[in-house]
Amino acid sequence: MAENQTNKEWDASQDGVADAQTEKKTPVITSPQQEDPAAFLDSFDWERYSEGIEKVDEEQLKAFEKLVSDNFVDTIDTDVIEGVVIKITDRDAIIDINAKSEGAISLNEFRYNQNLKEGDKVEVLVDVREDATGQLILSHRKARLIKAWERVNNAHDTGEIVNGYVKCRTKGGMIVDVFGIEAFLPGSQIDVKPIRDYDQYVDKTMEFKVVKINHEFKNVVVSHKALIEADIEEQKKEIISRLEKGQVLEGVVKNITSYGVFVDLGGVDGLVHITDLSWSRINHPNEVVELDQTLNVVILDFDEDKSRIQLGLKQLEAHPWEALSDKIKTGDKVKGKVVVIADYGAFVEVEEGVEGLVHVSEMSWSTHLRSAGDFVKVGDIIDAEVLTIDREDRKMSLGMKQLHPDPWTDITTKYPVGSKHSGTVRNFTNFGVFVELEEGVDGLIYISDLSWTKKVKHPSEFCAVGDTLEVVVLELDVEGRKLSLGHKQTMPNPWDKYEGEFGVGTTHDIEITETVDKGAVVNFNEDISVFIPTRHLEKEDGSKLKKGEKAQIQIIEFNKEFKRVVGSHMILHKEEEAKNVQQAAAKSAEESKPTLGDANSKLQALKDRMEGKN
């Protein structure tokens, strides 16, 4: 408190300096250079100086200001200064910053430094110049933070390597303490090789490079990988300079992807593409290798500029076609595994690395189009016959249907003309339906042979794929492997019956069902429809029959082949009228004809005259 009072007297004395200088009195104080600073301050009469009684000349005033600046610290809130620990209590550390009073800092701010002791120098920031008790409040944590950001920014700008303490794991990486700032270490920046166990780095101190700073959000990103990449690049160049195509090296599987395997050759990575792992087809590289596996690889190619190395594993073994047994020849039966299915066929591995193609046309004796997937699936073990083999081009064609007898061999015995069978509808064309009688034996039903009565425009109107139809063999072409089938022939032709029921001249009572441009239609059942031309709709009074009217018609045309039936109402009343006319004419003629009695009378009279009886 005495020091605070002294400070106030000093401030008040500034107002009286000018007045003191106007008075020509001899100064009381002596030169500060000639006295001890403490003695000078103790002997100086601040009250007389503030009242203007004492006077200080310019030189003495400057010397006094220098004395104050040398012995007292004046800071702004953002200045970081160095202090000395002069005492440690149970809760605080007392710090001397060469100010009017010492400051206190909670020991919690020194938890990272368990060995703090008196006499240590620490960085502090003036948090509160004077609290309610006049105490100077300092902060070590804030000072460290400010200094840390300065050091982090400087490390980012200069590329300086910094030490960091890995605190814990987090999503996507690690949290690292760098100068007291929590920085983010992405998982991809831990090492040049993929890291599978992040926990092995927790609680370790490592070297890092500051690669990114977001000043707005106070985010720092560090990288350990960046430190070793430069060394690796140098190692790569040195290793690549000694590489030769065909050279066999030992490496460790570093990473496995869907398209290949990365192998560490001792500082430089090479890629074994999936097609260079095995002579056999594989779906994924992990079917052949596993992580951290040591294996020998051969250098296929490399690019010195881009530092890319192409490796091979299967090339260390002879090609399977070269080791293929000479015993395999055309016509042999082989067993293999289906490895790939395409639209046009299936690839079958008959020996490791040796494949043959079974074309879809060689899978079945059936002639209608089907997919290879209808016969086999990947992984199936099948039997086949070798159709062709070309060892130079390393190609082989296989057949499956050849292991079964050709159904057309005795076709005339099984399917003679006129025989009835059941078949399955396989597909349609505009002109008919293909029906499968058995595997490899198909026949065609023309659209005209589907129904006796229905007028079918497209086969899909009559049946669906997969339906079972009863058929009759109409024609058989053995050489052309063709069968002509009929469905309607399996049942009687209803038009044979209709020919008598609706023959020409028959009459029927009807009701007009529908009128069209050229006449009217009368539906008797689902098969028989009678067409009445417009002029034949005429009634006796000269009007026309209309839809819904009932009348009587006579069939004037019946065509069984074209399923055409024509009727007429007009002909009935016209025939009646003609009949009436005919009858009247006959009656008139009858009335004018002499009778037998008259003839007898005349003959008797003639006889009498001749006999003289007149």
Query: Which of the two residues, 24 and 147, has the higher pLDDT score?
Result: 147
The DSSP string of 421-465 is EEEEEEEEETTEEEEEEETTEEEEEEGGGS-SS---SSGGGT--T
Query: In the structure encoding, which two tokens stand for residue 517, read together?
Result: 């441009």
Residue 524: pLDDT band (50, 70, 90) is confident
**Whether residue 22 has pLDDT greater than 50:** no
Distances in whole angstroms, Cα of residue 265 to Cα of each of 246, 258, 259, 478: 15, 21, 19, 68
How much is the pLDDT for 485?
92
Instruction: Give the pairing type, strands 269-273 and 92-96.
Output: unpaired
Tell me the β-bridge partners of 358. 346, 398
Residue with tokens 């090789």: 193
Tell me the β-bridge partners of 270. 263
Distances in whole angstroms, Cα of residue 503 to Cα of each of 560, 576, 580: 10, 20, 26
Instruction: Give the pairing type, strands 103-106 and 136-139.
Output: parallel
**DSSP 8-class letter at 26:** -
Work out the average pLDDT over 292-319. 83
CA distance 89 to 585: 157
Q: What is the rounded average pLDDT for all residues in the chain? A: 78
Burial of 407 (0-12, 13-18, 19+ CB in 10 A): middle
* Four-way CATH pick for 243-316: 3.40.710.10, 3.10.105.10, 2.40.50.140, 2.30.40.10: 2.40.50.140
How much is the pLDDT for 261?
92
Tell me which fold the domain 333-403 belongs to.
Answer: OB fold (Dihydrolipoamide Acetyltransferase, E2P) (2.40.50)
**Same fold for the pair 243-316 and 411-490:** yes
Using an 8 Å Cβ cutoff, are 328 and 321 in contact? no
**Whether residue 59 has pLDDT greater than 60:** yes
The DSSP string of 326-379 is TT--TT-EEEEEEEEEETTEEEEEEETTEEEEEEGGGT-S--S---GGGT--TT
**Whether residue 593 has pLDDT greater than 60:** no
* Helix H or strand E segment including 297: strand 294-303
Q: Provide the CB-side half-sphere exposure for 381 (13 A, CA).
A: 2
User: Among candidates 514, 497, 504, which has minimal Cα distance to 568?
Assistant: 504
Work out the average pLDDT over 83-105. 81
Q: Assign 200 to helix, strand or coil.
A: helix
pLDDT in tens, 472-500: 999 888 888 888 999 888 888 877 777 77
**Whether residue 47 has pLDDT greater than 80:** no
The CA angle 391-392-394, to the nearest 5 degrees, is 60
Q: Assign 145 to helix, strand or coil.
A: helix
How much is the pLDDT for 58?
65
* CATH class in words for 159-228: mainly beta
Work out the average pLDDT over 120-135. 71
At a CB cut-off of 8 Å and minimum separation 6, what does 427 contact? 368, 369, 433, 434, 465
Range of lowest pLDDT (89-93, 202-206, 422-426, 451-455)? 451-455
Work out the average pLDDT over 108-119. 78
How much is the pLDDT for 260?
92
Using an 8 Å Cβ cutoff, are 252 and 264 in contact? yes
Delimit the domains of the chain by residue range: 2-71, 80-144, 159-228, 243-316, 333-403, 411-490
**DSSP 8-class letter at 270:** E
How much is the pLDDT for 610?
58
How much is the pLDDT for 23?
40
Query: Which of the two residues, 324 and 598, has the higher pLDDT score?
Result: 324
The DSSP string of 585-603 is HHHHHHHHSPPHHHHHHHH
**Whether residue 74 has pLDDT greater than 60:** no
Tell me which fold the domain 80-144 belongs to.
Answer: OB fold (Dihydrolipoamide Acetyltransferase, E2P) (2.40.50)
Query: Which of the two residues, 413 and 583, has the higher pLDDT score?
Result: 413
Query: In the structure encoding, which two tokens stand for residue 333, read together?
Result: 């039966």
CA distance 485 to 443: 6
Whether the pTM exceeds 0.95: the reply is no
Tell me which fold the domain 411-490 belongs to.
Answer: OB fold (Dihydrolipoamide Acetyltransferase, E2P) (2.40.50)
**DSSP 8-class letter at 105:** E
Query: In the structure encoding, which two tokens stand for residue 475, read together?
Result: 């024609």
Rg, C-alpha atoms of the chain: 60
pLDDT in tens, 402-443: 888 888 888 888 888 889 998 999 888 888 999 888 888 888
